Structure 1
C-alpha cells in the first residue's frame, strides 16, 4: 500500500513538472511561428516634435542612495522636447536619499527640466501607492516607469511613443539589459533566466496575441488605460502583474519591443536574489488568487485562458520540485531499475521534463540576442541547480501567497557605485542543507540501484541545495563580521516569517530598508 501511494504521488509530481516543461516548449514554438509579427512591432512611424504627446517619467525610490543620482542623470539626457516631458521623482525614502535626490532635482530644474520631487511619509501601498499618488498629478498622457537600478537610454521615449497613436494600445514593454551580467556565475544565470522571460515568454505571448504583463519597470503606459483598469492597487505584491491583467481585460492591447533595451542591475548576493524572487513568487500567487476566476470566465479565447493559467501559476513548480527531491530517494530504492518499463517511466520523464524543455527555451533566448546557443547549454546545469536551491525558500512564498493577500513590500537592494552599502538579512538555510543530504543519498541510491538516468539530476539537486546553502551562510558570516567591526547599525529591521528584511548597513545615517521585486524551474 505504501509503495502504491509513493508511486501515485511520485508520478503526479512528474506529470505536474512535465506540464510546465511542455508549456515552455509551446512558447518556443509560438516564437518561431510568430516571428514576422514580433519583428513588425519594431516598425513604428516616427513622430515629429510637433506631434509628440506629453510624457511623464515616474521614478519610484526608497532609500536608493547608491543609484539615485545615476538614474536621474540618465533621465535628464532623454531625447524628448522639454516642454512635453515631466520627470516625477516619487521618493518614499527615510535615509540620506531624501537630501541627495531633492538637491539633484533642483539642479535639473535649474537646467530647464520639468522635474518634480514628491515625498510621502506614510508609504501606504508601497510602490503602487507612490505610483498612484504621482499619477493623480501627472501632466503626461503617457507614463513611463523606471526602477532605481535602471539606466534608461536617451532614445527610449521616442522609440516607443509612436505605438500609442493606436488608441487600443495601453502599454509598451521593453527588454531589460544587464549591467553586471558577467560579475559571477550567479549573475550569469540570472541574466539567462530574465532573457528567457523577455525573449521567449514575452515575445511568444505578444506574437500569438496572448496576455502578457508590464514588468514593473522599463515600460510606458497610457494614463487612461491605468485609470480605466481601476488604477494601481496594492492588495498584491506584484502590482504590475495585477494591473496588466485588469487593463487587458478592459480591452487594451499590449506591445512588446525586444529591440529597445533598458540596462539594469542584477542582484549580486544570493540573499538579495532570494528576497527579490520571494516577492515575485508570493505576489504572482496573490494575483492568481485575485484574478484567476475572472480571467477564466472572461470573453477570451481558449488559448488565452490556458496561457493565462500557466502565466499566473509558474511558481507552483517550486513546491513540486521540493516534493520531487524528497520522493526521489525512496522511489529509486523501491522501484526496480531492472524492469525496463519502470526505468523508462521514472527516469526518462525526469530527463525530458527538465533538460529538454529548458535547453530549447534558453537556447532560443540566447540566439534571439545574437549570442551563441551553446552559452545556454553550458549554463544549463547551474541554472537547474540554482532553481532547485531556491525552491524551498520560494515554496514558502507560494504558501504565504495562498494564505494572505498584500504584505510588506521588501525592496531589492541595489549595489550601484557603493557595493556593500546595503545588505540583506535572511533565514539560515536549514531546509536546504537537509535536502542536500537527502539528495546526496539519492545520488548513491541511483548508482547502487541502476537508475543511471536519474543520477545526473540527483547530483544537480544536491549541488543546488549545497550551493545556495553555502552562499547564504557565507554572506551571513560576512555580515555578522562587518556588524561586529563597524559602528552600531541604525534602523535594524526584523524580518517577518518567510520574508527578508533589507538593512541599510554599516552607515551611521542608514535606516530601515523596505520595499521589494520567474525563475524558471
Structure 2
C-alpha cells in the first residue's frame, strides 16, 4: 500500500516491497517520457522533494533494514548507503565552506601540511564519480575523442550546478533527518513541447524570492574570494590546489543565484 509519511513514496514503497522479499528486475530499455524542469524554480521544487524524501526514508527504514531477516548483509550496506545518498549535499556544503579557512591554515602552519596531503587522497572519490559517469555516457553515445571532450564539458557543468544546489538540498536533507513534515509539492509542468513554446507568464512560476537565494549569492562571492585567496596565500606564489574546486563552486552558486533571479518573470 502507498504511504504518505515521506515525500518520495516510490522510494518508500520499493524498500518496503524489498523488505518483504519481493524480487525486482531492472528493464533498461523501457522508457517513461516526462517533462524535465524548464525553470530553476521547478528544479528547486523537485530537488527539495527528492532529497528530503531520501532523508525521510533513511530515518524510516534504517531500523527495518538492519533488523531484516531476508536481506543479505551486503544488500543492507548498499541500502543504507543508498538512502544516505541525499546527505551527500550536506557533506559537500560543509567541506566547501571549510575549504577556504583550511587553505589559510595549511599555508600558515607548515607543520600541518602532511595532514592536508593525506586528506587530499579523498579526491579519488571525485575521480571514481567521473569514471562511473563516463562509462554510462560512453555506453549511450559511444567513445572517441570528440565524445570524451563533450563529456568533460558536460561533467564540469553538471558537477558545478550540483554543488550550486548544495545549500538548498542540505536544508531539505536536514528537515528530513529531524522529521520536519511538509506538504507534497509536485514539480511544476509547463507543457513545453518544442523550442518555440514559452514558460513565461505561467501560473506555476514563483514570484517571491526565497531567502536561500540571497545566501546562494553570498556563497558565490565567498568562493570568488576563495579563488582570489589562491593567489595570495603562503610565501611561494600562492596555492592553487583548491582553485578548480572553488571555481566550480563559484560557477555553480552563481548559476543557481542568477537563474533564480531571472526565472521569475
What TM-score does the superposition give when structure 1 sets the normalisation length? Answer: 0.45
Aligned residue for 2:32, secondary structure, equals: strand
Instruction: Decide whether aligned partners of structure 1 residues 441 and 316 sit closer, same or farther in structure 2, where only a CA change above 3 A counts.
Output: same
Structure ranking higher in strand proportion:
1
**2:98 & 2:128 partners in 1: Cα distance?**
22
CA deviation after TM superposition for structure 1 residue 465, in Å: 0.8
Measured against aligned partners, the alpha-carbon deviations of 1:5-47 in whole angstroms (never above 9, x if no partner) come to: xxxxxxxxxxxxxxxxxxxxxxxxxxxxxxxxxxxxxxxxxxx
**2:253 & 2:231 partners in 1: Cα distance?**
20
Correspondence 1:333-482 to 2 at 5 A: 333-336=104-107, 341-346=114-119, 348-349=120-121, 351-354=123-126, 356-372=127-143, 374=148, 375-404=150-179, 406-417=181-192, 419-420=198-199, 421-425=202-206, 427-428=210-211, 429-449=213-233, 450-476=238-264, 478=265
Name the residue aligned to 2:57: 287
Correspondence 1:248-287 to 2 at 5 A: 248-287=18-57
**1:248 & 1:319 partners in 2: Cα distance?**
28
CA deviation after TM superposition for structure 1 residue 415, in Å: 2.1
CA deviation after TM superposition for structure 1 residue 253, in Å: 0.4
CA deviation after TM superposition for structure 1 residue 297, in Å: 1.6
Provide the alpha-carbon RMSD of the alignment. 2.0
* Aligned residue pair count: 245
Correspondence 1:154-173 to 2 at 5 A: none
Among 60, 63, 81, the residue aligned to 1:310: 81
**2:125 & 2:239 partners in 1: Cα distance?**
17
Asked if the contact 1:413/1:422 (under 8 Å) is kept, the reply is no
Name the residue aligned to 1:325: 96
**1:424 & 1:298 partners in 2: Cα distance?**
44
Aligned residue for 2:172, secondary structure, equals: helix
**2:35 & 2:172 partners in 1: Cα distance?**
23
Aligned residue for 1:264, secondary structure, equals: coil
Higher relative contact order (CA 8 A, sep 6+): 2
**1:442 & 1:254 partners in 2: Cα distance?**
47
Q: Which of these two proteins has the greater Rg computed from alpha carbons? A: 1
Aligned residue for 1:453, secondary structure, equals: coil
Asked if the contact 1:392/1:432 (under 8 Å) is kept, the reply is yes
**1:415 & 1:298 partners in 2: Cα distance?**
43
**2:231 & 2:64 partners in 1: Cα distance?**
49
What TM-score does the superposition give when structure 2 sets the normalisation length? Answer: 0.85
Aligned residue for 1:280, secondary structure, equals: helix
**1:442 & 1:405 partners in 2: Cα distance?**
34
Aligned residue for 1:257, secondary structure, equals: coil
**2:51 & 2:205 partners in 1: Cα distance?**
18
Structure ranking higher in helix proportion:
2
**1:270 & 1:289 partners in 2: Cα distance?**
28
Measured against aligned partners, the alpha-carbon deviations of 1:110-141 in whole angstroms (never above 9, x if no partner) come to: xxxxxxxxxxxxxxxxxxxxxxxxxxxxxxxx
**1:304 & 1:376 partners in 2: Cα distance?**
31
CA deviation after TM superposition for structure 1 residue 424, in Å: 3.2
**2:205 & 2:231 partners in 1: Cα distance?**
39
